A = this chain, B = another copy of it.
Amino acid sequence: MDIKIIDAKKTILEDNDEDAEVLRKDLEEKGILYLNVMSSPGSGKTSCIISIIKRLESDFRIAVMEADIDSDVDARKIQEETGAEAIQIHTGGMCHLDAEMSRQGLRELKSSPNLVILENVGNLVCPAEFDTGAAKNIVILSVPEGDDKPLKYPLMFEKADAVVINKIDAIEAFDFNIERARENIKKRNGSIPVFPVSAATGEGVDEITDWIKKLSKNY
């Protein structure tokens, strides 16, 4: 099956924050839970999303929007491995997605989803600066990246509503301490949930999906 590729146009609105609020309310009224997943390149966003979809496919109608500067490898992978609708949004060289670009993507979804997961551009800086209109932001930090990242990328962890620590199956090979990571996350953002998981083995993923199910009760 071919992958739909959207070349997103830059917003003409000056106030992205205001626009994101409008989109958020609109999605809430329509009963669509929109989640924004952010992380470094290669921390396992796609694998986590696949792992989440497989556990939630009987609870939700799920669609995925993949934001990338180029290529459609992630959308293709999601669609092949889960059967969920996946579209690719090309950001025209930009390092983030904004609310208007979200809207352009959402408009193209054909499967009437009630859970839409956005895989944002792999980047721990810029995506945090632009509200996508999502109900919640999930930040993934992977074990090989190191437990100091919340100190070095403060805004990303301030904007997070939950942090997933991925690739815990590889923890023996790296100098990563989950408690130290929790402390560093807490410095940025006191009370958010932290989920240590392995998207590869499935360990811990149920905790994320339980959290998503609870969120959806408001929808």
Contacts and interface: CB of A to CB of B under 8 A. Distances in A.
Nearest to A125: B95
Query: How would you classify the secondary structure of chain A's contact residues: helix, strand, loop or mixed?
Result: loop
A149 interface: yes
A199 B109 CA distance: 44
Given A40-B41, A146-B42, A167-B144, A152 B122 contact: yes
Interface string A148-167: 11011111000000000001
B42 A144 contact: yes
Contacts of A146: 42
Nearest to A151: B71
A44 B172 CA distance: 17
A70 interface: yes
A117 interface: no
Interface in A173-198: 173-174
A215 to B, nearest CB: 27
A197 to B, nearest CB: 15
A145 interface: yes
A126 interface: yes
A203 to B, nearest CB: 15
Interface of A: 40-43, 68-71, 73-74, 93, 95, 121-126, 142, 144-146, 148-149, 151-155, 167, 169-170, 173-174
